[in-house]
């Protein structure tokens, strides 16, 4: 299995999330630091959910049955009226 850029991004985000979870913030952290960390975690979660949903949609679209029909374009030219 080859590693797609999307998989690499997900792995980097998961590692970053784990590093933030394992290393606690210092005791003197103020409210803005806590809000910044919470916002970063929320952004990571939204991005991972988006990537998972997009991957499932791509897989569903790839597995959709095709009936083998071909697209045929038809052009009908109307006669031009005679100029006076």
- Condensed to tens digits (0 to 9), the pLDDT of residues 53-66 reads 888 877 777 676 66
Residue 6: partners with Cβ closer than 8 Å, 6 or more residues away? 51, 55
Higher pLDDT, 79 or 15: 15
Write down the H helix ranges in the chain: 5-22, 31-63
Give the C-alpha separation, 59 to 57, whole Å. 5
In the structure encoding, which two tokens stand for residue 8, read together? 């690499």
Give the C-alpha separation, 32 to 38, whole Å. 10
Give the C-alpha separation, 44 to 34, whole Å. 15
| pTM, full prediction | 0.43
Q: What is the number of residues in the chain?
A: 84
For 23-51, write each residue's pLDDT tens digit.
766 667 678 888 888 899 999 989 888 88
């Amino acid at each position: 299995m080859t590693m797609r850029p999307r998989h690499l991004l997900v792995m980097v985000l998961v590692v970053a999330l784990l590093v933030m979870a394992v290393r606690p913030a210092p005791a003197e952290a103020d409210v803005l630091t806590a809000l910044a960390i919470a916002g970063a975690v929320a952004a990571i979660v939204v991005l991972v959910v988006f990537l998972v949903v997009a991957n499932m949609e791509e897989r569903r679209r790839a597995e959709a049955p095709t009936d083998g029909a071909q697209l045929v374009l038809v052009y009908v030219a109307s006669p031009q009226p005679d100029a006076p």
